[in-house]
């Protein structure tokens, strides 16, 4: 029975850490998407994790897992943010070239 409790706690720790890391990455993405620069959210997310790593995360295994998962998630979102920004700029250029009044700002 003790082994099942250990496995259950470990699984809950990993799933919970993944959920929190995904929420953190989504929050960084959404915040900077509002100002139309989601590619900036990733470096700031990684910088915040790096600065907080030294004194905060060493006391808890949960926070260490969250930090690692968030760093991996942010690294995977970086190319998506750059592609999103490129598509936005392309849409702006097309709207400007076609002379559409009231195009994207």
What is the spatial distance between Cα 99 and Cα 60, in angstroms, rounded to a whole number?
Answer: 57
Q: Is 47 contained in some domain?
A: yes
The pLDDT of residue 42: 77
- State both tokens at 89: 């700029």
Q: Is 10 contained in some domain?
A: no
Name the residue range of residue 76's domain: 21-95
Mean pLDDT of the chain: 79
Domain count, the chain: 1
Percent of the chain surpassing pLDDT 90: 9
Query: What is the DSSP code (8-state) at residue 103?
Result: -
Q: Is 14 contained in some domain?
A: no
pLDDT at 3 over 60: yes
pLDDT digits (tens, 9 = 90+) for 67-76: 888 888 888 8
Q: Is 8 contained in some domain?
A: no
Q: Look at residues 83, 69, 71 and name the one whose alpha carbon lies nearest to residue 38.
A: 83
Q: Is 86 contained in some domain?
A: yes
CB 73 within 8 A of CB 21: yes
CB 21 within 8 A of CB 66: yes
pLDDT digits (tens, 9 = 90+) for 13-64: 889 888 888 888 888 888 888 887 777 877 887 787 777 776 666 677 887 8
């Amino acid at each position: 029975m003790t082994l099942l409790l250990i496995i259950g706690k470990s699984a809950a720790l990993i799933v919970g850490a993944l959920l929190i890391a995904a929420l953190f990455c989504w929050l960084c993405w959404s915040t900077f998407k509002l100002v139309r620069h989601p590619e900036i959210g990733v470096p700031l997310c990684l910088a915040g994790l790096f600065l907080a790593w030294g004194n905060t995360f060493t006391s808890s295994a949960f926070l260490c897992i969250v930090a690692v998962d968030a760093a991996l998630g942010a690294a995977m979102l970086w190319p998506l943010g750059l592609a999103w920004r490129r598509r936005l700029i392309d849409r702006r250029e097309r709207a400007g070239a076609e002379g559409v009044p009231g195009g994207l700002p």
